[in-house]
């Protein structure tokens, strides 16, 4: 398998993770103009798995280090296969809940609460699971990013100042989504074996990054038959979504948009997991969650979400970007 041992390359991969995690939702925005999110999400889950398999049979099966994908899958302990699989199940539920919360409470509440909790808990739980990284600097970097998320929320609040009061249900769902999303990464990270830097051999019984991401993706897709089916039958907002709409209302373009969205997201997830061999897992996750800044950039400059916002909103946005850059810089420096 291809192994990343260079820290600068690992940082670049983590920054690509940030770009992918902050950009994939643009495909949702495009597709859901024509059909409901639940229908888009089936194609998204398929795209996640297809990308994982592509990497497993290319980068995960070539190179001089570790084990090839099939050999690694054959020797893996059931415990660690289950751990990576469970990470996919947990993430899928959290992601669906987050989207539902945004639909109910709006970005001003759901995004800062959900993603903010996910970032803080994700770095903490991943650090506790792996015990890798500079804890004080990770904490300072996360704190700076948290300030940026709060400023992001304040900017959205100003934009929606005339909207109706946020339903309590939306806040509760946002918290639930953030708590779940903060746990998933640690299950995947601890399933992966350590790589000996001298011999490039991989710890026996555990998984390579490529095997871990495949099991994660399988968990995501299979759990979709539970989580997304529930959301279609009993949506948290709006009318139930008939299963037949996936076939009757879908077309090749809509399906490809959904698959592309899943592939983009999983390029980010895969690069984060692969980079974790050179940049500790907590750092890789923390850098990836800078995706909130990327999402805000799309919203501000492409989708014009802040058009007509009250005077002074730009100060919140400028401060948000400044704190994100500060936090990301500290997270990168934590490994130097």
Span 286-317, pLDDT tens digits? 888 777 778 777 877 887 767 777 888 889 98
136: how many CB neighbours lie within 10 A of its CB? 9
The reported pLDDT for the residue numbered 98 is: 83
d(CA 153, CA 174): 13
pLDDT of residue 304: 77
Tokens of 19: 């770009």
Entry pTM? 0.88
pLDDT, tens digit, 9 for 90 and up, residues 208-237: 999 999 999 999 999 999 999 999 999 988
User: Burial level of 81, CB count in 10 A (0-12/13-18/19+)?
Assistant: buried
Residue 314: both structure tokens together = 């730009």
User: 49-106, pLDDT tens digit by residue?
Assistant: 999 999 999 999 998 889 999 999 999 999 999 999 999 999 999 999 987 887 676 6
């Amino acid at each position: 398998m291809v192994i990343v041992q260079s820290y600068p390359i690992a940082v670049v991969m983590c920054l690509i993770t940030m770009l992918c995690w902050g950009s994939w939702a643009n495909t949702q925005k495009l597709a859901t103009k024509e059909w409901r999110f639940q229908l888009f999400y089936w194609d998204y889950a398929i795209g996640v798995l297809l990308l994982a398999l592509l990497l497993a049979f290319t980068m995960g099966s070539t190179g001089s280090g570790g084990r090839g994908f099939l050999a690694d899958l054959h020797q893996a302990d059931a415990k660690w296969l289950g751990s990576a699989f469970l990470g996919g199940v947990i993430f899928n539920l959290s992601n669906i809940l987050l989207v539902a919360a945004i639909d109910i409470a709006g970005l001003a509440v759901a995004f800062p609460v959900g993603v903010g909790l996910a970032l803080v808990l994700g770095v903490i739980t991943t650090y506790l699971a792996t015990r890798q990284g500079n804890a004080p600097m990770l904490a300072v970097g996360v704190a700076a990013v948290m300030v940026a998320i709060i400023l992001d929320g304040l900017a959205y609040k100003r934009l929606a100042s005339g909207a109706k009061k946020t339903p309590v249900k939306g806040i509760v769902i946002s918290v639930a989504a953030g708590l779940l999303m903060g746990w998933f990464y640690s299950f995947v990270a601890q399933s992966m074996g350590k790589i000996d830097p001298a011999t490039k051999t991989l710890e026996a019984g555990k998984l390579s990054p490529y095997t871990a991401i495949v099991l994660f993706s399988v968990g995501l897709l299979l759990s979709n038959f539970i989580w997304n089916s529930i959301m279609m039958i009993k949506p948290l907002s709006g009318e139930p979504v008939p299963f037949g709409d996936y076939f009757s209302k879908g077309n090749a373009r809509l399906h490809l948009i959904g698959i592309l969205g899943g592939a983009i997201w999983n390029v980010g997830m895969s690069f984060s997991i692969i980079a974790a061999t050179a940049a500790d897992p907590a750092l890789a996750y923390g850098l990836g969650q800078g995706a909130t800044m990327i999402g805000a950039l799309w919203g501000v400059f492409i989708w014009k979400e802040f058009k007509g916002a009250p005077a002074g909103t730009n100060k919140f946005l400028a401060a948000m970007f400044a704190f994100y850059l500060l936090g990301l810089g500290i997270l990168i420096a934590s490994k130097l």
